[in-house]
């Protein structure tokens, strides 16, 4: 029997997630689609597809008869709005919440890395689009050698960055940096996001740099390829853009890492691209697709 879900946030991410659930999910079905703008395209689309809707936010959702049947709530609003939404959810401890904002209230979850460790939590956080794309690569290096520093640069099409993404730039960098450390295993993490205005729009590109202790390069390369395959199980458009690159940082020419000090070792560079599935958003919006795909994977595992 499928379990019912509610999605809060009627923008691009919420709408794409709704369509993924309707078209692809074997264990979750749509219960209600929630927004705050009665004229939003997302709410109109949901209504046309036969999904119950409310334009009164989580307060309106809780008042609806279907609320009693909802088992999991996906929050695709903003970091600030999530704090309010989660405050309301605390009165319903039997319901699970999957947070697609960078609010970072619950534990971080990156499905390919730590899916099974946090499924009992009532509220889990999906980090950020850049985090979902790059943290698996940091973790892949980390399981072979101690990673002193992990830095990621996420480049996304400006057209795929809606109001929510733009309002959360600071939270993006802070949350992703912290998750590089907590989930990826780096001693120090740093995240940068670039909104690329190029026309025609470019697909999501991610660059991952790690500085680790010296280790067998073939073992690191194999670990990275294995991790790419794990991510592809729920994001088929995730792939290496070029082969993994290595550089030595000599002991007599160490680099300074803020908060860590001078370090030498092996620099690993991973270049990725993420092509969206095209369920609702264009293929270039891989940054949004990886978030909704990862969130659905976590929600389905929770419900199982």
| Arithmetic mean of pLDDT over the chain | 96
The beta strands (E) that lie in the chain are given as 3-8, 28-34, 52-54, 70-75, 96-99, 123-125, 147-157, 188-196, 204-212, 238-240, 245-249, 255-257, 261-263, 265-274
DSSP 255-269: EEETTTEEE-EEEEE
**pLDDT confidence band for 270 (50 / 70 / 90):** very high
Find out whether 189 and 179 touch, Cβ atoms under 8 Å: yes
pLDDT of 226 reads 98
| Band of pLDDT at residue 4, cut at 50, 70 and 90 | very high
What kind of fold does domain 129-283 have according to CATH?
A: Dihydrodipicolinate Reductase; domain 2 (3.30.360)
- Stretch(es) of the chain classified as CATH 3.30.360.10: 129-283
The answer to whether residues 183 and 108 touch, using CB atoms and an 8 Å cutoff, is yes
Q: Where in the chain is the domain with CATH 3.40.50.720?
A: 3-127+289-303
User: In the structure encoding, which two tokens stand for residue 61, read together?
Assistant: 């959702």
98-122 average pLDDT score: 95
Contacts of 36 (CB under 8 A, 6+ apart): 10, 55, 56, 57
Rg (CA), the chain: 19
- CB-based contact 209:268 (threshold 8 Å): yes
Given this model, what pLDDT does residue 167 score?
A: 85
Total-model pTM: 0.96
Q: Among this protein's residues, is 32 annotated catalytic?
A: no
Structure tokens at 16: 């794409």
Mean pLDDT over residues 202-210, rounded?
98
Instruction: Determine the topology of domain 3-127+289-303 in CATH.
Output: Rossmann fold (3.40.50)
The pLDDT score that the predictor gives to residue 133 is: 98
Contacts with 18 (C-beta within 8 Å, 6 or more apart), sequence order: 7, 30, 33, 42, 46, 49, 51, 280
Locate 214 and state its tokens: 């010296």
Q: What is the mean pLDDT of residues 84-113?
A: 96
**Residue 174 CB neighbour total at 10 angstroms:** 16
Pairing of strands 147-157, 188-196: parallel
Mapping DSSP to helix (H, G, I), strand (E, B) and coil, where does residue 171 land?
helix
pLDDT band at 27 (very low <50, low <70, confident <90, very high): very high
Asked whether 125 and 114 are in contact (CB, 8 A), the reply is no
How many Å apart are CA 16 and CA 62, to the nearest integer? 23
pLDDT at 92: 97
Q: Which helix H or strand E contains 46, and what residues bound it?
A: helix 41-48
- Categorize the per-residue pLDDT at 162 as very low, low, confident or very high, splitting at 50, 70 and 90: confident
For 34-89, what is each residue's pLDDT tens digit? 999 999 999 999 999 999 999 999 999 999 999 999 999 999 999 999 999 999 99
Q: Which of 81, 115, 129, 244 is catalytic?
A: 129
What pLDDT is stored for residue 164 in this prediction?
76
């Amino acid at each position: 029997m499928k379990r019912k879900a509610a999605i809060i946030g009627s923008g691009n991410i919420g709408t794409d997630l709704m369509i993924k659930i309707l078209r692809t999910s074997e264990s979750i079905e749509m219960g209600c689609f929630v927004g705050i703008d009665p004229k939003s395209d997302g709410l109109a689309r949901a209504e046309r597809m036969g999904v119950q809707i409310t334009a009164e936010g989580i307060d309106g959702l809780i008042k609806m008869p279907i609320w009693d049947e909802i088992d999991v709530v996906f929050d695709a609003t903003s970091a600030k709005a999530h704090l309010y939404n989660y405050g309301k959810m605390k009165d319903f401890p039997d319901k699970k919440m999957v947070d697609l904002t960078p609010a970072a209230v619950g534990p971080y979850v990156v499905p390919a890395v730590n899916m099974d460790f946090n499924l009992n939590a009532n509220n889990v956080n999906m980090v950020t689009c850049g985090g979902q794309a790059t943290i698996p690569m940091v973790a892949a290096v980390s399981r072979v050698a101690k990673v002193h520093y992990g830095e990621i640069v996420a480049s996304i099409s400006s057209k795929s960055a809606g109001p929510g993404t733009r309002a959360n730039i600071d939270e993006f960098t802070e949350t992703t940096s912290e998750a590089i450390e907590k989930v990826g295993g780096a001693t120090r993490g740093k995240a940068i996001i670039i909104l690329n205005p190029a026309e025609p729009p470019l697909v999501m590109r991610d660059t991952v740099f790690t500085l680790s202790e010296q280790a067998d390069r073939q073992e690191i390369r194999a670990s990275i390829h294995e991790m790419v395959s794990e991510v592809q199980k729920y994001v088929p458009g995730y792939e290496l853009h070029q082969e993994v690159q290595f550089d030595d940082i000599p002991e007599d020419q160490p680099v300074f890492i803020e908060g860590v000090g001078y370090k030498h070792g092996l620099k690993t560079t991973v270049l990725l691209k993420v092509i969206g599935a095209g369920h609702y958003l264009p293929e270039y919006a891989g940054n949004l697709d990886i978030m909704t795909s990862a969130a659905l994977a976590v929600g389905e595992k929770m419900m199982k």
